[in-house]
Amino acid sequence: MPYLELKSVSKAYGANGSRTEVLRDVNLAIEQGEFVAIVGYSGAGKTTLMSILAGLIRPDTGSVTLEGRAMSGPGPDRGLVFQNYSLLPWLTVAENVRLAVDQVFPEKSEAERAAHATEFIEMVNLAPARDKRPHELSGGMRQRVSVARTLAMNPKVLLLDEPLSALDALTRANLQDEIARIRAQQKQTVVLITNDPDEAILLADRVVPLTAGPNATLGESFIVDLPHPRDRKALNHSPRFRQLRRDISQYLLQSRQDRHATITRKLTLPDIEPEDLSIPRTMLGRSRPLRSSETREATVEVAS
């Protein structure tokens, strides 16, 4: 029996008229200790999929099971690292981590909880910044706090929702190595969502492509049989790495071409005509024609 399983999950947004199905019939089975990366286009429904895994939104159909038990809501057993860090800005680094630790381990003593929080702050190399507030930290550091906060909850599954997408390339590479190191240390079950096939291949045991939305679904898995630890420089010359990258990119591009979908949306065209300078100015300013924003229904063909 798989450790974490998604069975025929689908999710649609919007009211009846302009209802868009984001995910359709998504199936995924993850073994304990496995690192799975889901790669897909922006807007394909990656974050929706992650929110379903985390329990923040309910799927319209299908089920999510962890260790054979169906999950209904969010909980600390699935530690979610948010795309935008979601640190509480009025708390310091240590307090942000402590909030999670205090909540998940109420039975431990004060000293034990403090030590537990410190352990994870040190794991992400943030001990010197423990009393700083999030706005004093760089993006990379904030994301490390977020990772520390999540890992400190001892989650059964670590969910990483495009954790590095807001970072610059160098910081990104750095944090990728850090994630690989922590993962090797913790032997955690991880689901990573990303739009970067290289990142997926570098970190994961298995890469699952998410086809282009709407009606996105998971494609066939690509097993990454490269040995750990992986060195990014050596990897660039590995024929197996290149082949995987080619295959995954090919698959994603193909999925996009197969698609002829339209989205209908209500658009509000804002009223931004320039002022007519030829009309003379009066005491009350310049008299101008009455204008108002316009609402239009627009139908767009998506990725044909």
Partner 1 sequence: MKAFKFDWLILPLIGIAVVVLLWQISSKTWAKELPTPHKTWEASKEYVLKPFEKRGEMDQGILRFTWYSLILVAKGYAIALIVGTPIGFFLGLSKAFTKTFDPIIQVLRPVSPLAWLPLGLVLFLGAGKQASELGALFTIAICSMWPTVMNTAVGVRAVPQDYLNVAKVLKLSRWKTLTKVLIPATLPYMFTGFRLSLGIAWLVIVAAEMLTGRPGVGGFLWQEYNALLYEHIILCIITIGVVGFILDRLMSLVESRFKTA
Q: Which residues bind partner 1 (CB under 8 A)?
A: 54, 56, 73-76, 78-80, 82, 84, 86, 88-90, 99-100, 103-104, 153
* Minimum gap (Å) between residue 142 Cβ and partner 1: 12
Nearest to 268 by CA among 288, 289, 291, 298: 298
* Minimum gap (Å) between residue 192 Cβ and partner 1: 17
Which of residues 39 and 94 has its CB atom nearest to partner 1 in the complex?
Answer: 94
* Minimum gap (Å) between residue 220 Cβ and partner 1: 31
- As a whole number of angstroms, the distance between CA 194 and CA 225 comes to 19
Nearest to 212 by CA among 245, 255, 251: 255
Give the position of tokens 């922006």.
Answer: 42
* Minimum gap (Å) between residue 150 Cβ and partner 1: 8
C-alpha 241: how far from chain center: 23
Which of residues 91 and 173 has its CB atom nearest to partner 1 in the complex?
Answer: 91
Q: Rounded to 5 degrees, what angle do the CA atoms 18, 72, 195 make?
A: 60
- As a whole number of angstroms, the distance between CA 149 and CA 153 comes to 7
Do residues 48 and 9 lie in contact, with contact meaning Cβ atoms separated by under 8 Å? no
* Minimum gap (Å) between residue 284 Cβ and partner 1: 26
Which of residues 89 and 280 has its CB atom nearest to partner 1 in the complex?
Answer: 89
Which of residues 78 and 113 has its CB atom nearest to partner 1 in the complex?
Answer: 78
Q: Which SS3 state, helix, strand or coil, does residue 2 take?
A: coil
Which of residues 53 and 192 has its CB atom nearest to partner 1 in the complex?
Answer: 53
Residues 6+ away with beta carbon under 8 Å from 53: 4, 6, 64, 78, 157, 159, 191
